[in-house]
Amino acid sequence: MRQTIVAGNWKMNASKESVNTLVLGILEGLPEVKNSKVIVCAPFPYLSQVEALATHSQLNLGAQDLNVNASGAFTGEVSADMIKDFGVKYVVVGHSERRSLYGETDEIVADKVQVALDNELTPLFCIGELLEERESGKTEVVVARQINAVIAKVGIKAFKNIIIAYEPVWAIGTGVTATPQQAQDTHAFIRSLLAENDADIAQSTPILYGGSMNSANAEELIACEDIDGGLIGGASLKPEDFLSICKAG
């Protein structure tokens, strides 16, 4: 039985005051979350603050990216060792915004997954198609290409330590959500693709949905057979909404 996982991706939204309010609000309601593992992925400057607030709680800390290099002349970049210094256990890799805005290819994403695993960090490995790719019937082709690039790099067995997040790009931050059936169909395809390589890994790998999941649709989405939780954007910035999604598991 796969555990429900709900991860909040704050993106580039934070201040010292808002982080304090948000984390304390989540911590207050966390005892009511019975079945979900809860993760918050904070911007780099606030990792220390979240770590301090969440000490001795069930709230897990994640980062939003990492550099493939361990150290060196890479101005503005952050390494795996740096984020681990702040109690980070999870890291978002391959988010569509990193792919589209910063030119991260499937190969770069695969390299980042490898570095995360090498440093005992659990990748929240993001995949998903653009609107024009869905409309032209290429969803499965795109998703398979993205997953196969990582399998080729790290091997199928590594997926026992990877969380997949399927995020249809056309549904991120748009308020448009894939229907439960659309989401389930793609999640089932992802699991079948893993099963072609290893049936046990396919059954144990968590696959989260990451396209405008909110308090109103979370329960219906998470109830789908192959949807194991959510990677939450905007709704993760409001404690009440985020906790509602966490409780849906």
Average pLDDT, the chain: 96
Please report which confidence band the pLDDT of residue 194 belongs to, taking 50, 70 and 90 as the band edges: very high
Q: Residue 69 annotated as binding?
A: no
Mean pLDDT value of segment 228-249: 96
> Which of 95, 97, 104, 129 is flagged as catalytic?
95
pLDDT > 90? residue 173:
no
Question: Is 56 labeled as catalytic in the residue annotation?
Answer: no
Q: Residue 35 annotated as binding?
A: no
Please report which confidence band the pLDDT of residue 207 belongs to, taking 50, 70 and 90 as the band edges: very high
Mean pLDDT value of segment 86-110: 97
Using only the alpha carbons of the chain, give its radius of gyration: 17
Q: Residue 212 annotated as binding?
A: yes
Question: Which residues make beta-bridge pairs with 3?
Answer: none
pTM above 0.85, yes or no: yes
pLDDT > 80? residue 48:
yes
What is the DSSP code (8-state) at residue 137? T
What does the chain come to in residues? Answer: 249
Q: Residue 234 annotated as binding?
A: yes
pLDDT tens string 109-144: 999 999 999 999 999 999 999 989 999 999 999 999
pLDDT more than 90, % of the chain? 93
Span between the terminal Cα atoms of the chain, in Å? 13
Q: Residue 60 annotated as binding?
A: no
Please report which confidence band the pLDDT of residue 174 belongs to, taking 50, 70 and 90 as the band edges: confident
Mean pLDDT value of segment 80-94: 98
Question: Is 28 labeled as catalytic in the residue annotation?
Answer: no
> Which of 97, 104, 167, 187 is flagged as catalytic?
167
Mean pLDDT value of segment 100-105: 96
Domains and CATH numbers, the chain: 5-248 (3.20.20.70)
Q: How far is CA 144 from CA 51, 194, 226, in A?
A: 36, 10, 17
